[in-house]
Structure 1
Amino acid sequence: MTSQWTTHGVELLPDTVRKRFRPDADGDPAREWLALTLLDRHAPGLAPRPLSLVGRTVIMTRLPGVPLRGTELTRTQLAALARATDRLLRAVPPGAAAVLPERRWYVRDSVAAIRRRAVQPSMPALAAGVRWLAGAEAGLLAGAATAVPVLGQADGNLANFLWDGADVRLVDFEDSGRSDRAYELAELVEHLSAWVDTDLDAAAFLARFALSPAERARLLECRRLFALLWLVFLSTDPATEARNPLGTTARQADRLLALLDAAVR
């Protein structure tokens, strides 16, 4: 079976997967190959095992399981998702993660996209988010520079987390690279897939991670950033809005305002 996405086509064979990247798209086979190679070395079994890189095609093993997106997560699945995420963020030693290329859509990219698209905020929540960002940008960038580096998957879509009945494994690393733990956790819990068609209990999920006070503070700021970024996409990109249920933009606005009012816990 072959499925076509924006940046690549995926051919699912009985035991392997062929991921062919389009030359005219942003998908990066080198990033995917590097991440899979590192995880095969440091956390075998967590992600597909890389088999070969031929031109713009990555061939890897096929993992068992079904996507968590679109499901009602059980307590067991939530625990497995947290274990897999924690394993990913601890897998690559900081020294090795520090020399990786910066992940796509890291702080600077996200801030730039917001500023570019939200020149004239069209709704109160968006205006509030832009005002917040004016005061938070320097701290977000400084946190990225000083945090312990990790390999970031750079895609919190729950469709990329496969449940096999006992464990969760991860796929899709085409945007991966150097990141930090708070940023990656924030992306996962603020991704639209976590609440639009899946019931991810963000508080219960995040409670499974032992975060330092500094990480907790950064986590809230990063959640605000991702919530604002999603609201920008939903309110300025008709294609993003059309892909989601009616009312998603209004719900995202409420989500952002709640995070702007939240305190560090």
Structure 2
Amino acid sequence: MSSVPWSTHAVELGSADVTKRFRHGGRERCEREWRALTLLAAYAPGLAPVPLGVGLTADEPVVVMSRLPGEPLREKPLTGRQLKALAAAVGELYAAVPVGVLDEIPVRPGRQDQLIAQIRAWAPRARPRVGGEVGVAMDRGLEWLARSGMEGAGRPDVPRVFGPGDGNLANYLWDGSRVRIVDFEDSGLSDRAFELAEITEHVASWVDHPLDVASFLGEFDLNAVERVRLQDCRRLLALVWLFLLSFDDPEHPRNPPGTAERQAVRLSALLMAA
């Protein structure tokens, strides 16, 4: 068995199972992970790991699940077949949980209002520290946010879905024929536009081998309201990532040099798009 550390949890890989051990205070994350696995085992069997056991009352809560085959889609160019399989898996996830069951699922963390509040808290600290194209893009993003109507907008009038809450392509495993999904600690009630923006704007979708966003999004039949919302959600998530990347420690960077500048270009393009 090998152990892989993460910021919120540690993962112990067995030959047939995976143990996800959350840090102290991670009960809510553990609950969300377990809820997602049990829901998907019931409504989309085979799409996610099979839930095997849970320990919610432990000081470090734990979930045990089956180990899925496959390699993460992050850090590699996707073939057309892989891209379609990714979209199919995501679409299956969004459609899996029945409406009546969705009524009982809490809204996921990191939702729109929380992200906007975080941006407002970051701005006074971050903006004086950055200049050049990053600062210009940050100003443009904040100006767009002020007039976007997204602040205090309440629940969007779009179909609700069960969302995984993390767009990192490392959580999507390709086994040669299909894509399966792991990591649900931030999952909950959401909508397609927001969740799709989580994927397209995550740094993992463009920093090494850019995801073909147009082809990926073209696999989803969004209604008119969702299409408008998707554009706004992409701008919001891109702005969040610009702030996050601006905080990268140059002495111990988590991303390649120039990533924040590249994100500034991405955000500016999204703000200019019709």
Q: TM-score range by the shorter chain?
A: over 0.9
Distance 1:189 1:43, change over 3 A: same
- Mapped to 2, the partners of 1:24 and 1:78 lie a distance apart of 36
- Is residue 135 from structure 1 mapped to residue 121 from structure 2 by the alignment? no
Q: Distance in 2 between matches of 1:27 and 1:246?
A: 35
- What's the counterpart of residue 187 of structure 1? 198
- Structure 1 residues 219, 93: closer, same or farther in 2, change over 3 A? same
- The aligned residue for residue 42 of structure 1 is 43
Given that 1:241 and 1:249 are in contact with CA atoms closer than 8 Å, whether structure 2 keeps it comes out as no
Q: What SS does the aligned partner of 2:227 have? A: helix
Distance 2:140 2:28 in 1: 33
For residue 66 of structure 1, the aligned residue among 62, 71, 77 is: 71
What CA distance in whole angstroms lies between the structure 1 residues aligned with 2:260 and 2:18?
A: 35
Identify if the C-alpha distance between structure 1 residues 176 and 159 changes in structure 2 by more than 3 Å, giving closer, same or farther.
same
Counting only pairs closer than 5 Å after superposition, residues 239-254 of structure 1 correspond to structure 2 as 242-254=253-265
Runs of 4+ in 1 over 4 A off after TM superposition: 24-27
TM-align CA RMSD: 1.8
Identity rate, percent: 50
Q: Secondary structure of the residue that 1:238 maps to in structure 2?
A: coil
Q: Given the alignment, which residue of 210, 229, 245 partners 1:199? A: 210
The one-letter code of the counterpart of 2:23 is R
Instruction: Indicate conservation of the 8 Å contact 1:162/1:169, yes or no.
Output: yes
Partner of 1:53, secondary structure, is strand
For 2:181, the aligned partner's letter is: L
Match of 2:109 among 104, 108, 121: 104
Shift of 1:92: 0.7
- In 2, Cα distance between the equivalents of 1:227 and 1:240? 24
Write out aligned runs for 1:1-150 (5 A): 1-24=2-25, 28-55=29-56, 56-119=61-124, 121=127, 122=130, 123-138=135-150, 141-142=153-154, 144-150=155-161
Q: Taking structure 2 as the reference length, what is the TM-score of the superposition? A: 0.91
Unpaired segments ≥5 residues, structure 2: none
Q: Is the 8 A contact 1:35 1:176 kept in 2?
A: yes
Q: In the alignment, residue 194 of structure 2 is paired with which amino acid? A: Y
Give the TM-score normalised by structure 1.
Answer: 0.94
Query: Does the 8 Å contact 1:7/1:26 carry over to 2?
Result: no
Residues 65 and 239 of structure 1: CA distance in aligned 2, closer, same or farther (over 3 Å): farther
| Equivalent residues in 2 for 1:166-185, closer than 5 Å | 166-185=177-196
Q: Distance in 2 between matches of 1:160 and 1:258?
A: 27
Kindly provide the amino acid, as one letter, of the partner of residue 18 in structure 2.
V
User: Which of 114-123 and 223-232 deviates more?
Assistant: 114-123
**How much has 1:103 moved relative to structure 2?**
0.8
CA drift at 1:239: 8.1
CA contact (8 A) 1:158 1:194 kept: yes
